[in-house]
């Protein structure tokens, strides 16, 4: 095993190690207007019902749109959309129609009013399940009520954010199923 020469590390920068799954594009619709924001801070909370916790800052235009409509779609982009995702996360829907600005296709969802982004690899239609943590932490707990994804590729080339404008792209897959107890898979 490798040994590391470690130094004191600023706790305010630990996101670099823990930044979770892929960045996603959250699409919403409220009072006839659509919007998109980029989001990296999310976590899976339960298999069934399929629950996801998402941090959506109150400074974002999307915050009130999603809170008031109680719905959104979590869209998972692949590598070719990386620059678009960065740009979407650096402008506000208060003064931009982001679908138009970034030439993305707003497709009707099956179960929610928010449109899904056709150009993304997968789309998770979400309903706000619990708002108890919104005021305190800006954390929205959603239930995914419908999901759309292609059969292939099974493991998409997702984009992950380190912070400081730096991204990682998912690459190698490892099959370690042999180490898993059946109930843990």
Ligand X SMILES: Cc1cc2nc3c(=O)[nH]c(=O)nc-3n(C[C@H](O)[C@H](O)[C@H](O)COP(=O)(O)O)c2cc1C
Q: Within positions 64 to 123, which residues make up the interface with ligand X, using CB under 6 A?
A: 86, 89-93
Minimum Å gap between C-beta 1 and ligand X is: 33
Beta bridge partners of 64: none
Q: Which residue is nearest to ligand X (CB)?
A: 89
**Residue 41: closest CA among 145, 138, 172, 170:** 138
Identify which of residues 166 and 174 has a Cβ nearer to ligand X in the complex.
166
Distances 117 to 28, 81, 96, 176 between C-alpha atoms, Å? 10, 12, 16, 33
Minimum Å gap between C-beta 95 and ligand X is: 9
Asked if 54 contacts 39 with a C-beta cutoff of 8 angstroms, the reply is yes
Minimum Å gap between C-beta 73 and ligand X is: 14
Distances 109 to 73, 123, 124, 133 between C-alpha atoms, Å? 8, 9, 9, 26
Cβ neighbours for 179, distance < 8 A, ≥ 6 positions apart:
none
Number of residues that bind ligand X (CB under 6 A): 20
Minimum Å gap between C-beta 96 and ligand X is: 7
Q: Within positions 135 to 174, which residues make up the interface with ligand X, using CB under 6 A?
A: 161
Q: Within positions 8 to 67, which residues make up the interface with ligand X, using CB under 6 A?
A: 23, 35, 37-41, 55-57, 60-62
Site residues for ligand X per CB under 6 A: 23, 35, 37-41, 55-57, 60-62, 86, 89-93, 161
């Amino acid at each position: 095993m490798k040994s590391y020469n470690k130094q004191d590390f600023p706790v305010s920068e630990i996101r670099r190690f823990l930044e979770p799954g892929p960045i996603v594009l959250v699409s919403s619709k409220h009072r006839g207007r659509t919007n998109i924001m980029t989001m990296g801070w999310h976590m899976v909370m339960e298999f069934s019902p399929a629950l996801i916790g998402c941090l959506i800052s109150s400074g974002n235009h999307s915050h009130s749109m999603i809170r008031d409509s109680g719905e959104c779609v979590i869209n998972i982009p692949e590598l070719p959309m990386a620059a678009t995702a960065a740009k979407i996360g650096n402008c506000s829907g208060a003064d931009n129609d982001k679908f138009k600005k970034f030439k993305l296709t707003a497709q009707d969802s099956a179960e929610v009013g928010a449109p899904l982004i056709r150009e993304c690899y997968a789309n998770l239609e979400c309903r706000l399940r619990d708002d108890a943590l919104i005021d305190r932490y800006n954390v929205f707990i959603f239930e995914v009520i419908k999901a759309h994804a292609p059969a292939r590729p099974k493991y998409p080339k997702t984009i992950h954010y380190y912070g400081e404008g730096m991204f990682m792209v998912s690459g190698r897959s490892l099959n370690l199923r042999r180490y898993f107890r059946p109930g843990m898979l």
